[in-house]
Structure 1
Amino acid sequence: MEEIPVRVAVRVRPLLPKEILRHQHVCVRVVPNTQQVIIGKDRAFTFDFVFGQKSAQDQVYATCIKPLVSSFIEGYNVTIFAYGQTGSGKTYTLGGGHVVSTADEEKGIIPRAINEIFQSISEHQNTEFTVKVSYIEVYKEELRDLLGHETSSKDIHIREDEKGNTGKNILYIF
């Protein structure tokens, strides 16, 4: 596997219905046939991957996440980090929806990665696996596991310990 420390993808979400009703406009434009966005009139930024307003969940997953999940299954530690202000589309991209019956095409990164990981586990019936799940939020410099009601931020470990241990085959999705 080629070692690349960090890759950055940008996904421009479409306007929400309430934003359209308020006559708001998208302030980020994707430059066609490039990995650039323009903010405002002329501020251009280049990223490893750029997805426009009409990008599909499966396109984002196949391009950015599937190779990471494959590396994870091969034994590498992987981190997927969604960053942006409130309302920027992180939850949609990660989860896809707030209900269990979300259509397959709307499913986000987390359900797709989980399906792929457990499919791989089912194909290796002679191997023992242990799966631990955390859904971590970083807010105001505090860490919170959204699945653990009683988890304090000091109990969440996202870095190696003083001995350099991170565990085996860790897939972090923030």
Structure 2
Amino acid sequence: MQGPEVPVRVAVRVRPLLPRERLHNHQVCVRVIPGANQLVLGKDRAFTFDHVLTSKTSQDEAYSKIVEPLVHSCFEGYNATVFAYGQTGSGKTYTIVGGGNTDTITEEEYGIIPRAIKQIFSTIAENHNVDYTVLVSYIEVYMEELRDLIELETSSKDLHIREDENGNTGMGLKLKIMK
């Protein structure tokens, strides 16, 4: 059961050190405070989020805590958008798409997109007597320019960030499921 409606939730995921970082004896510069949804940077700079996922959090756990409830809400008539934000190398692609080579990726390594697609079409298959329309956009902001990662031929000049009358912003991975 979810609490009161919250328009935006923020989750942070601490990625594990990469092999090359371990090889060069790099150290993790953040600590997660268990049960407090807090991340501590350095010695004393604490930040609180709705969800804090440690470097040991599996892809499945990240999906089930953060995205699965959003997909359920789409089937209840709500729109959902997932933004992945962070600097290069922070783990966005790993979380969104998954780890490893796309030709050899295992189900355990699937990111949130393959998991969401599986959940969406499983739910649709379970409700075979209902007609659905699934609309998906996958937009990247890179160097202050928008790129459509589904329709690669789309010019960045044809993409716009829009805000509706309720203050909802349209971009990112966006799902809309209509009955």
The interval holding the TM-score normalised by the smaller chain is: 0.7 to 0.9
1:1-174 paired onto structure 2 within 5 Å: 2-97=4-99, 98-156=101-159, 159=162, 171=175
Where structure 2 has 5 or more consecutive residues not aligned to the other structure, the ranges are none
Aligned partner of residue 108 in structure 2, secondary structure:
helix
8 Å Cα contact 2:136/2:175 also seen in 1: no
Percent identity between the two aligned chains: 63
Tell me the distance in 2 between the aligned counterparts of 1:108 and 1:47: 21
8 Å Cα contact 2:97/2:113 also seen in 1: yes
Tell me the distance in 2 between the aligned counterparts of 1:127 and 1:158: 32
Where structure 1 has 5 or more consecutive residues not aligned to the other structure, the ranges are none
Amino acid at match of 2:175: L
TM-score if structure 2 supplies the norm length? Answer: 0.84
Measure how far apart 1:158 and its partner are: 5.2
Measure how far apart 1:42 and its partner are: 1.2
Tell me the distance in 2 between the aligned counterparts of 1:77 and 1:130: 13
Measure how far apart 1:126 and its partner are: 2.5
Task: Tell me how many residue pairs correspond in the alignment.
Answer: 169
> Hey, which bits of structure 1, 4+ residues long, moved more than 4 A?
none
Amino acid at match of 2:41: I
Measure how far apart 1:161 and its partner are: 6.4
User: CA-atom RMSD, angstroms?
Assistant: 2.5
Amino acid at match of 1:141: E
Measure how far apart 1:157 and its partner are: 5.2
Amino acid at match of 2:32: V
Tell me the distance in 2 between the aligned counterparts of 1:38 and 1:9: 14
